Chain A
Amino acid sequence: MNDLHPGKLGVADGIALVFGIVMPRVFLSTISNLIQQDGPILWLAMVIYTIIPLIILYMMAYVHKGITGDIFIVCQKLIGTIGAWGILLSYSIMFLSNGALILRLYSEYTLLTALPRVEFQVVIVWYAVSAGILCYLGIEALTRTSYIVMPFSIAAIGMILLLLIPFYIVYNLTPWQGNGVMQAVQTGIKGAGYNVGVLALVFLAPAFQNTRTIKKAALYALSYAGMLRVSFILVYTMVFGNAVGAEKTMPLFELARLVYLNQYLQRIEALFIVVWVVFGLLAVAGSLYVGLYLLAVLLKLPTLRPIVPLGAILIANLAMMPPDIGYVLEVDQKLITLFDVGIYVFPTLLFIMAWWKKRRGKLCTSASS
């Protein structure tokens, strides 16, 4: 029960945390790339996207159930100190680089959409400072804040999707197999790494009330995110179709720009910038927090606060490194491999170890009795 583990986070907090980390990807160029790959069946990939991390999380929850203590102790017991260091360090890198990438993309798109004449560094620093403050206030403030703003942001996005009804062309969803079902499944499996954020729940397990809270939070968060994602993809495909859909840099922004109900209700995209920024900031802050938390656990730090400014500076610098947006998108494509390792390899390894230990333990006890 220290600063790191308040032990009071409930289901709502968990939902907000995961939703905040996982969701913002959908608003970035990732979707445009995927729609070019998959065609109208992209929604299926999104469904798979959602289901796999859920299974992984349940596996991890199983791993965590038998052993008390933070994630480092768990890993240590299962695969030894060096393995634990390796795993946690790579997870920490994953989260931090995810944060940096989202920071960079959001800053780029801020320049493109809202503030075309601002210095690029200023935007990055601005976001990094804001995310740093959010982190600094602690995990409770972070999750509670995202929990409060979550319904409004979801409602705002839902509103965009509804206001676009006049632009729906349902036939854009056909031919229904798109570029092939297998292609979509492949994309789904490969892209599941983007949901690595759900593991934050397992890492922060001591901060939550119990395992049931975590499972419930993951279930709700992923299904909310999944539903929102799928409906977003459906609408996006319906409105833009394949060809134009693959052209867009910023799907959500383009959708919001398109809203034209009558001469009074139009040009509302500026207001949705607010929603968009909120999503981005929460994602950056969440990733930053989890990344730093893992470091803190590794180094056995009693509190997180002193390294928050450090982390903020770190991701701001990371974000400033790539020279152009094309390179950023390339890095994004490569990073998914790392995330895939995070979501497939490590949890499976831990799960097998846990299962084996448990079985051996059972065998031992049955043998002795």
Chain B
Amino acid sequence: MYIRLILGTMLLSMGIFLSGCNGARESEEVAYIVAIGIDKAEQEGMIKVTYQIARPNVEGNKGEGEKDTVLISNSAITIAESLNLLKATTALVPSMSHVKVLVVGQELAREGLANMWGSLKRYREYRGSMFVLVAKGTARDFLEGNKPSFNISASKYFETMLDSGVETGYYLRVSFHQFYIRLKSNSAESYATFVDISNLSGKGEIATPKVAGSKIEGYTAGGIPLQGGNPIQFAGTAIFNGDKMVGTLSTTETRMMAMLLGNFNNGFLSIEDPLLPKKFLNVNLRLGSAPNIKVALEEERPVIDIKIMLEGEITNLPSGINYEQESYLRLLEEQVNQVCHEEMANMIQHTQELKSDVIGFGYYIRPKFTNYQDYLQYPWFEKYSQAKVNITIDTKIRRTGLMIRTYPVK
């Protein structure tokens, strides 16, 4: 008993003694970075890193209209050096542990980022759960342009914004972990959310034209006609080949990609009315089950079989044709199938042209091998661009919304 007391006091005194040099940091001594942007610097071979640092809302210290974050940029050879520069130039100790998004400028992304990811993954303060964005312009401009219209903090803005991507399927949330896994994997290529600032002119810029039977065009970030509100836009996907960005997918393509990834939870589809092509129809779709994908490794080129089950609900029906009826419903479902089929085929073709298997068909060939070495030797990424794709889409319109029939306007 006595010795226990002695040991206890020893522990305690040790604790007290050591408290000076144990590296505790009071919460207000730390600068919490919520976003990092990486761009190509003007100087050759250097990068420009932009840190968005949250500013605690100290009572009485905040002026009217002042932003709750501070943007600091510096140029350095590497990210680590840039962090050093930041530490040297700010009063507080910067902490990466709360970084929500990592924004990469398009120019840099297209050049390749291989030497950068390693340092991001190795240092303990960077987290796998931060999200990766690719900005069409520069990351600095993007972060600067971000003016949340609702009264939420910058960190919350990014999280809710990326969360709400699942509402439409127009952009996908990619964590750094997912990005990195695909970077190192032999089965899939990386992708990132595509973002840009809009000029708020209200004019759009169409990235992919509408397919036959569809009523909607695809946009990429910056191209969505927008007036008012926060000028920054999340739309589309930047796709990579290895560590280099090779292209973008538009909103509609991204939606098809979401279906293939099994992430498509909700999204409106506007299509032509099959009987009155002038009018349109609106259905709310979601995946009925996980996509059923099979890849056969034929001699000359692989064959990809895709089966997608969609479930839907009619949300708008201006034509007044009674699609709620069983027989008409088939027509409607057929139309949805056809539109989705075409969009998906276009999207896959697009990725095949870019030689980037962002959907991860490469995962589906893995069970075909018994040995890991054999699998590694199979040149999947080369074969992918030649692959033949068979798509079957099966749509079931389960519900008709709050109305079961429409009476024509008198």
Considering the complex, give the chain A residue whose CB is closest to the CB of B160. Answer: A263
Q: Which of A129, A133, A175 contacts B370 (CB 8 A)?
A: A175
Nearest chain B CB to A113 CB, angstrom units: 7
CA distance A198 to B11 in the complex (A): 32
- Chain B 370-405: CB-based contact to A (< 8 A → 1; otherwise 0): 111111000000000000000000000000000000
Decide if A240 is an interface residue (CB 8 Å cutoff). Answer: yes
B371 touches A177 (CB 8 A): yes
With both beta carbons as reference points, the residue of chain B lying nearest to A169 in the complex is identified as B363
User: In the complex the two chains form, what is the Cα distance from A262 to B18 in whole Å?
Assistant: 37
Q: Considering only CB atoms, which chain B residue lies closest to A253 in the complex?
A: B124
**CA gap between A112 and B125 in the complex, in Å:** 10
Across the interface, do A262 and B128 meet the contact criterion of CB distance under 8 Å? no
Choose among A116, A118, A175 the residue that contacts B366 (Cβ–Cβ < 8 A). Answer: A175
Is the CB of A241 closer than 8 A to any CB of chain B? yes
B1 to chain A, nearest CB (A): 11
Q: Is the CB of B128 within 8 A of A254?
A: yes
**CB nearest neighbor in A for B369:** A175
Binary contact readout A260-285 vs B (1 if CB under 8 angstroms, 0 otherwise) = 10110011000000000000000000
Q: Which of A39, A117, A122, A260 is in CB contact (< 8 Å) with B372?
A: A39
How far apart are B366's CB and chain A's nearest CB, in angstroms? 4
A255, chain B: closest CB distance, angstroms: 10
**Interface-centre pick from A116, A129, A136, A260 (highest chain B CB count, 10 A):** A260
In the complex, how many angstroms separate the beta carbon of B23 from the nearest chain A beta carbon?
A: 3
Q: Is B129's CB under 8 angstroms from A266's CB?
A: yes
Q: Is the CB of A241 within 8 A of B11?
A: no
Whether B163 sits at the interface, judged by CB under 8 Å, is: yes
Q: Any chain B CB within 8 A of the CB of A325?
A: no
Is residue B10 contacting chain A, with contact meaning CB distance below 8 A? yes
A175 in contact with B375 (CB, 8 Å): yes
**B160 in contact with A171 (CB, 8 Å):** no
Whether A241 lies near B185 (C-beta < 8 A) is yes
Do A260 and B129 touch across chains, with their CB atoms under 8 A apart?
yes
Chain B residue nearest to A123 in the complex (CB): B22
Inter-chain contacts of B364 with A (CB < 8 A): 171
| B175 sits at the interface (CB 8 A) | yes
What DSSP secondary structure best describes chain B's contact surface? Answer: helix
Residues of chain A within 8 A of B156, CB atoms compared: 263
**Chain B 325-350, CB within 8 Å of chain A: the 1/0 string?**
00000000000000000000000000
Enumerate chain A residues within 8 angstroms of B3, measured Cβ to Cβ: 136
Q: Could you tell me if B124 and A112 are in contact, using CB atoms closer than 8 angstroms?
A: yes
Asked if B22 contacts A174 (CB within 8 A), the reply is no
Binds A, one of B35-43, B71-79, B176-184, B193-201: B176-184
Q: Is the CB of A117 within 8 A of B23?
A: yes
Instruction: Tell me which residues across on chain B come within 8 A of A126, comparing CB atoms.
Output: 14
Contacts of A39 on B, CB cut-off 8 Å? Answer: 372
Max chain A Cβ within 10 angstroms of own Cβ: one of B10, B22, B177, B372:
B372
Residues in chain B near residue A254, CB distance under 8 A: 128
Does the CB pair B369–A174 fall under 8 Å?
Answer: yes
Chain B residues near A136: list those with CB within 8 A. 3-4, 7
Q: In the docked arrangement, what's the CA distance between A357 and B179, Å?
A: 63
- Given contacts A260-B175, A267-B127, is CB(A175)–CB(B181) below 8 Å? no
Q: Which of B11, B124, B374 contacts A129 (CB 8 A)?
A: B11
Find residues 148-163 in chain B having any chain A CB closer than 8 Å to their own CB.
156, 159-160, 163
Option from B7, B177, B366, B373 in Cβ contact (under 8 Å) with A258: B177
Q: Are A115 and B370 in contact (CB under 8 A)?
A: no
B18-A133 in contact (CB<8A): no
- Option from B121, B129, B371 in Cβ contact (under 8 Å) with A180: B371
Q: Are A122 and B127 in contact (CB under 8 A)?
A: no
Measured between beta carbons, the chain A residues less than 8 angstroms from B372 are 39-40, 175, 177-179, 242
Q: Does A324 belong to the interface (CB within 8 Å)?
A: no
Q: Does B52 contact A (CB under 8 A)?
A: no
**Count of chain A residues with Cβ under 8 Å from any Cβ of B?**
42
Known: A178-B372, A257-B128, A266-B129. Contact between A115 and B181, CB under 8 A? no
Contact: B184 with A267, CB < 8 Å? no
| Closest residue of A by beta carbon distance from B177 | A258
B119-160 vs A, CB cutoff 8 Å, 1 = contact: the mask equals 001001001110000000000000000000000000010011
**What B residues does A263 contact at CB under 8 A?**
156, 159-160, 163
Give the complex CA separation of A242 and B372 in angstroms. Answer: 10
With contacts A118-B23, A240-B181 known, is A129 near B7, CB below 8 A?
A: yes
Q: Which residues of B contact A119 (CB under 8 A)?
A: 21
How far is it, in angstroms, between the C-alpha of A174 and the C-alpha of B369 when the chains are bound?
A: 8
Please determine whether B181 and A116 come into contact, CB atoms closer than 8 angstroms.
no
A40 CA / B375 CA spacing, docked (Å) = 12
A137 / chain B contacts, CB cutoff of 8 Å = 4
The verdict on B97 contacting chain A, using a C-beta distance below 8 Å, is yes
B373 touches A262 (CB 8 A): no
- B124 and A122 contact, CB distance less than 8 A: no
Contact A176 B370 (CB under 8 A): yes
A258 engages B129 (CB within 8 Å): yes
Contacts A113-B124, A116-B124, A117-B23; A167 near B177 (Cβ below 8 A): yes
| Given A262-B163, A263-B163: A115 in contact with B129 (beta carbons within 8 A) | no
A135 CB → nearest B CB, Å:
12
Shortest Cβ distance from B367 into A: residue: A174
Smallest Cβ-Cβ distance to B125: which chain A residue: A116
- When the two chains form their complex, are residues B375 and A244 in contact, meaning their CB atoms are under 8 A apart? no
CA distance A116 to B24 in the complex (A): 10
- List B contacts of A116 (CB < 8 A): 23, 124
Q: Is the CB of A122 within 8 A of B367?
A: no
Contacts of B370 in A (CB 8 A): 175-177
- Asked if B187 is at the interface of the complex by the 8 Å CB criterion, the answer is yes
Q: With a CB–CB cut-off of 8 A, which chain B residues contact A260?
A: 129, 175
Known contacts A174-B367, A263-B159; can you find 8 more A-B pairs with CB under 8 A? A112-B124, A133-B7, A136-B7, A171-B366, A175-B368, A175-B374, A178-B371, A263-B163
Q: Which B residues lie at the A interface, using CB under 8 A?
A: 3-4, 7, 10-11, 14, 18, 21-23, 97, 121, 124, 127-129, 156, 159-160, 163, 175, 177-178, 180-181, 184-187, 363-364, 366-375
A-B contact pairs, 30 of them (CB 8 A): A39-B372, A113-B124, A116-B23, A117-B22, A125-B14, A126-B14, A129-B7, A133-B4, A136-B3, A171-B187, A171-B364, A171-B366, A172-B363, A175-B367, A175-B369, A175-B372, A175-B375, A177-B371, A177-B372, A178-B371, A178-B372, A179-B373, A242-B372, A243-B184, A244-B185, A254-B128, A262-B163, A263-B159, A267-B97, A267-B129
Ranked 8 nearest A-B pairs via Cβ: A117-B23, A171-B363, A174-B366, A175-B369, A243-B184, A263-B159, A39-B372, A260-B129
